[in-house]
Amino acid sequence: MEIRILDKDGNRLRFLLKGVETPVANALRRIMIAEVPSMVIDDVVIIENSSVMKDELLAHRLGLLPLKTDLDSYVFPEDCTCKSELGCNKCSVSLTLEAEATGSTRTVYSGELKSDNPDVIPVNDNVPLLKLTGDQKVRLEAYARLGRGITHAKWQPVSACTYKYEPAIQINSRKCNGCEDCVKSCVKQVLKMDGKKAAIGDYTQCNLCKECVTACPSEAIQVSPVEDSFIFNVESVGGLPPERIFLEAAKILNEKTEDFITQVSSFKEDDAE
């Protein structure tokens, strides 16, 4: 297996994964979406809410708020020894919100949430939660926990996780007559003119549509997928860096594989007896 980073921009990561079959690539994609844990608000205790927004809607908004996640300091609630409904400092983070209007209308933002752990805070401080006016107030306690997207979509650590085959593009310079039809037909602008001949630019942008092959009158271009090589595009919601999401997915896949091998070996031993 070979991994090569193509580019990284903030919460977005593109990388090339070579030497694996399609089921492995798809397993990594599904694990990154559904099984890599993240921390979000799961319980909300409304102490006071005189705004026009209903308690349930406010709790729903808080539950969809991305939080920075500390995977190394917390355990899953079901694995914690406290067995408490609201959790403890090993499995839960408490956040509080106290806001009120002073005559004029004001917007309450995510940055006003106060966390008992400075490492677990909203990813963005400028997410509007609700509006207050007059003498309206809101006071609440929220409890964030680790969870998986397979349980609820709010725990998904990624906003996008896709892959495609790595494209293989070949241009026969002897056949190319420099008509530029292939360059004009390429919506991803992968092809360009180098003098009087077509040339390849950033081939990783190719989506294998083969419009260039159809447009070329001299059949000078060949485009095909590399069957054991994939280009991944991972976009994190901000709670975890995208490279950490991939590493956690690889770790989970390895644990699943080892568990499967153990169970199969145990089954064979029982069958032999």
Beta bridge partners of 2: 18
Is residue 272 very low, low, confident or very high in pLDDT (cuts 50, 70, 90)? low
Report pLDDT for 86: 86
Read off the pLDDT of residues 135-148 as tens digits, 9 standing for 90 and up: 899 999 999 999 99
Q: What is the pTM of this model?
A: 0.89
Instruction: Give yes or no for residue 267 having a pLDDT over 80.
Output: no
Q: Do domains 2-35+159-234 and 38-155 have the same CATH topology?
A: no
Please identify, in words, the CATH class of the domain defined by 38-155.
mainly beta
CATH code given to domain 2-35+159-234: 3.30.1360.10
Mean per-residue pLDDT for 166-179?
A: 93
Separation CA 145–CA 77 (nearest Å)? 7
273 confidence band (pLDDT: 50, 70, 90)? low
Whether the pLDDT of residue 269 is over 80: the answer is: no
How far apart are alpha carbons 155 and 134 in whole angstroms? 35
Contact in structure between 89 and 131 (CB atoms under 8 Å): no
Q: For residue range 178-188, what is the model confidence (pLDDT) as tens digits?
A: 999 999 999 99
At residue 184, the pLDDT reads: 94
Per residue in 195-212, pLDDT (tens digit) is 889 999 999 999 999 999
The residues spanned by each domain of the chain are 2-35+159-234, 38-155
Angle CA(88)–CA(240)–CA(152) in degrees, nearest 5?
A: 65
Task: Determine contact, residues 95/141, Cβ cutoff 8 Å.
Answer: yes
Residues 1-33 pLDDT 10s: 899 999 999 999 999 999 999 999 999 999 999
Residue 15 region by backbone torsions, left for phi larger than 0, else alpha for psi between -120 and 50, else beta? beta
3-state helix, strand, coil in the chain (%, to 5): 25, 35, 35
